[in-house]
């Protein structure tokens, strides 16, 4: 297929100072949970994106000195860090793309728990978070040191083969941004007070960098033009505009966004694609230099519109480049329908916050490019004569059938219901989760073009029927069902009264099935991810009086990793939902529940028409056990292996289910055995050491 001429503008080259990007696709800096701990995995991940057509590939934040230290991100403290990063630049250059590095000093944002250096900031203040650490106010020597460290890191980046230096003043994660911000900078010298003074350090660092490498490397400034904090923070119409007016012609490109990270990477539950446009659209009016911005863009028509309207010169992306590393190439080759669109769930962000290699709900190969040799677009052709039955067309079953079909296997996909997608379809109808339907839509669209994959709807199979299919491999992707008895993390056994008063108990499955609900409603969330809060939100929108009881310190506590925690608490308040955190529902009665503080205190009763128990799902693995109970019958039927996948093996995230289905398609359920199933990077010990 050939490219639609409407999209030709996306493939025009863009000059970034002395270097030229081959098209307008710019992967902005993003963390990935790999960094210096898994440097080859990080490098190969970026290289795959370059292969996929991204013209610029930037690192995550790169610490420049021991006074700014994080546990897992990359570093350019000195020349010893160069080989690690050169591995990335080599792989990016293989595909004709540019490599950029985001040089960072995190100021008061870094506790420096490993280096044990005292953090520093424009003004003295406690570090971000709850660590008992304080940052000291920078004096003139500190400012000079910081400028020198940044310049040295830029020179080392040049030696590592980078083409672009990103001067970082965004996300409230850098000293340069802290100097700009009136809430962080209370100085009274020439670096404080007026906007010109507060921008002095950023100007100096840009000029230092240009002087050091500007004749051979592009110098980019990443700037948060608005913190969405009102008058107490940086505002686009105030500091944002003033900075661009003063410094607009200094760098070779402006990378603009909204701070902090939970705004820049806001989930689809709380914002539509492109929500930052009103805040950044002024930038191109004030500078002749190219501008890049982000908005979780996946539509080429939207991208073209942004360029033609003069909002952006380059299409920035982090999450869309994770969901589909080949997004540019698919547009270039006229394969728009093959784009694997980001759903905005922030599982990628959670991975980094948890310190593990990145994963993605839509792209199960993310983070496994080097570890397992998984490519997002290529998969080995079939190497057996198996005909394969996949039972269940939820996220795991759809991905297994799709990837098996791509390999060339003949696949039967049997779905017990009348709708494809399983939980991804059901949950996408809940408030804020409509984008999650892309998990289903993309896979169904791919399968529909595969003549070797047959779909059988309304086909609930028992063990006898499975054995009659003539398939030699079987994957049971039969999902999970939420418990009705209240068992979970807090209640290791069934909750008292939940069975005896079953007429008062509902589960998330019931709510998604449209069950009649009598209020007032008590939602007991012992799951701690998104579903308890979303269910409560839906019930409140339906007009019910809702109280959410959770054993967590907050509603949906785990969403601290997906950057949603604060917005979810606000949403509960806006919806009029009473929240009882650090409490548990301990018993269900006939018309009431008993609630108890989990850290001591008196239990009390609360009237309710229904209690919705969001405690734990259980795998629907009956079919698997029925099949495995008669090995002789399996052998007679020619079935050589039965494998549970997705929630039918163990309930988890949708990302985990998709990964499980993809893994089955790759290894056909081969037993794990004693071998480690992925590559590891081992620490190389120094040749000499001396005992103290």
31 noted as active-site residue:
yes
Calpha distance 259→257 (Å, rounded): 7
Which residue in the list 105, 109, 171, 662 is annotated as catalytic?
A: 171
Instruction: Identify the active-site residue in 252, 255, 262, 264.
Output: 264
| Cβ-based neighbours of 590, under 8 Å, separated by 6 or more | 501, 504
Listed in order, strand segments (DSSP E) in 385-467 are 387-391, 410-414, 453-456
Contacts 24+ apart (CB under 8 A), 496-499: 496/586, 496/587, 496/588, 497/587, 497/588, 497/589, 498/588, 498/613
**473 contact partners, CB below 8 Å, separation of at least 6:** 386, 387, 388, 389, 639, 640, 641, 643, 668, 669
Cα–Cα nearest to 139, from 128, 149, 153, 124: 124
The β-bridge partners of 316 are 26
Catalytic residue among 26, 31, 342, 662: 31
Greatest Cα pair distance, the chain, in angstroms, is: 86
Q: Is 554 a catalytic residue?
A: no
HSE-CB at 649 with a 13 A cutoff on CA atoms is 21
Torsional class of 33: left (φ above 0), alpha (ψ -120 to 50), beta (otherwise):
left
Q: How far apart are the first and last CA of the chain?
A: 66
Q: How far apart are CA 10 and CA 548, in angstroms?
A: 48
Nearest to 440 by CA among 419, 409, 458, 457: 419
Give dist(CA 402, CA 330) in Å, integer. Answer: 18
Q: Tokens 């100072």 identify what position?
A: 17
Candidates 357, 389, 391; CA nearest to 374 is 357
DSSP state of 237: I
- Using a 10 angstrom Cβ sphere, with 0-12 exposed, 13-18 middle and 19 or more buried, the burial of residue 449 is exposed
Question: Among residues 146, 168, 279, 409, which one is catalytic?
Answer: 168
Strands 604-607 and 592-597: antiparallel
CA–CA gap between residue 206 and residue 105 (Å, rounded): 14
Written as six digits, the tokens of 290 are 């190219």
Q: Which residue has the tokens 């290289």?
A: 47
CA–chain centroid gap for 169, Å, is: 22
Q: Reduce the DSSP state of residue 221 to 3 states and report it.
A: strand
534 phi and psi angles, rounded to 5 deg: -65, -40
Determine whether 264 is an active site residue.
Answer: yes
Cβ neighbours of residue 242 closer than 8 Å, sequence gap 6 or more: 195, 199
Please give the structure tokens belonging to residue 422.
């399983």
Residues annotated catalytic, as ranges: 31, 168, 171, 264
């Amino acid at each position: 297929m050939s490219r639609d001429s409407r999209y030709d503008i996306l493939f025009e080259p863009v000059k970034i100072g002395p270097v030229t990007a081959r098209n307008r696709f710019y992967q902005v800096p993003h963390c990935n949970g790999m960094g210096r701990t898994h440097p080859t995995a990080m490098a190969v991940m970026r290289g795959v994106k370059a292969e996929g057509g991204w013209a610029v590939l930037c690192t995550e934040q790169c610490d420049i000195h021991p006074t700014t230290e994080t546990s897992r991100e990359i570093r350019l403290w000195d020349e010893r860090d160069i080989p690690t990063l050169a591995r990335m630049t080599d792989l990016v250059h293989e595909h004709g793309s540019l490599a950029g590095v985001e040089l960072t000093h995190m100021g008061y944002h870094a506790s420096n728990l490993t280096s044990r250096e005292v953090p520093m900031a424009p003004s003295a203040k406690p570090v971000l978070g709850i660590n008992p650490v304080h940052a000291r106010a920078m004096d003139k020597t500190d400012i000079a040191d910081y400028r020198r460290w940044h310049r040295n890191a830029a020179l080392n980046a040049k030696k590592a083969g980078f083409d672009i230096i990103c001067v970082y003043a965004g996300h409230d994660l850098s000293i340069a941004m802290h100097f700009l911000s009136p809430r962080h900078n209370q100085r009274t010298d020439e670096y404080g007070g007026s906007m010109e003074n507060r921008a002095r350090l950023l100007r100096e660092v840009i000029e230092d960098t240009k002087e050091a490498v500007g004749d051979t490397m592009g110098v980019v400034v990443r700037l948060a033009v608005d913190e969405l904090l009102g008058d107490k923070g940086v505002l686009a119409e105030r500091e944002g505009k003033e900075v661009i007016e003063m410094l607009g012609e200094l760098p070779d490109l402006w990378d603009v966004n909204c701070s902090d990270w939970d705004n820049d990477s806001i989930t689809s539950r709380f914002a539509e694609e492109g929500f930052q446009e009103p805040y950044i659209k002024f930038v191109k009016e004030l500078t002749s230099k190219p501008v890049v911005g982000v908005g979780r863009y996946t539509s080429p028509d939207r991208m073209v519109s942004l360029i033609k309207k003069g909002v952006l010169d380059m299409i920035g992306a982090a999450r869309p480049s994770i969901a589909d590393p080949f997004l540019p190439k698919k547009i270039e080759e006229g394969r728009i329908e093959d784009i694997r669109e980001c759903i905005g769930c922030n599982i990628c962000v959670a991975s980094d916050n948890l310190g593990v290699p990145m994963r993605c709900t839509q792209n199960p190969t993310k983070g496994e490019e080097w570890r397992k040799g998984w490519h997002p677009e290529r998969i080995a052709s079939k190497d057996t004569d198996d005909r394969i039955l996949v039972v269940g067309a939820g996220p795991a079953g759809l991905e297994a059938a799709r990837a098996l079909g791509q390999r060339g296997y003949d696949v039967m996909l049997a779905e017990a219901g009348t709708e494809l997608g399983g939980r991804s379809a059901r949950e996408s109808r809940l408030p804020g989760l409509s984008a999650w339907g892309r998990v289903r839509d993309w896979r169904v669209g791919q399968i529909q073009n595969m003549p070797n994959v047959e779909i059988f709807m309304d086909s609930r199979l028992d063990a006898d029927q499975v054995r009659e299919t003539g398939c030699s491999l079987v994957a049971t992707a039969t999902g999970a069902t939420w418990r009705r008895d209240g068992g979970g993390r807090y209640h290791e056994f069934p909750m008292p009264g939940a069975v005896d008063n079953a007429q008062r108990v509902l589960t998330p499955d019931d709510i998604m099935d449209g069950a009649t609900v009598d209020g007032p409603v008590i939602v007991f969330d012992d799951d701690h991810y998104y579903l308890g809060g979303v269910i409560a939100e839906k019930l409140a929108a339906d007009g019910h009086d809702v109280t959410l009881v959770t054993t967590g310190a907050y509603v949906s506590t785990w969403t601290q990793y997906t950057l949603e925690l604060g917005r979810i608490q606000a949403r509960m308040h806006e919806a009029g939902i009473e929240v009882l955190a650090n409490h548990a529902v301990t018993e269900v009665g006939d018309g009431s529940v008993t609630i108890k503080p989990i850290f001591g205190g008196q239990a009390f009763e609360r009237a309710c028409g229904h209690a919705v128990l969001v405690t734990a799902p259980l795998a629907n693995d009956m079919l698997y056990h029925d099949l495995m109970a008669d090995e002789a019958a399996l052998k007679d039927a020619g079935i050589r292996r039965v494998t549970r996948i997705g929630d039918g093996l163990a309930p988890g995230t949708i990302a985990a289910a998709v990964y499980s289905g993809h893994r089955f398609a790759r290894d056909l359920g081969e037993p794990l055995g004693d071998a480690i199933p992925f590559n590891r990077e081992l620490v190389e010990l120094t040749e000499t050491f001396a005992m103290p």
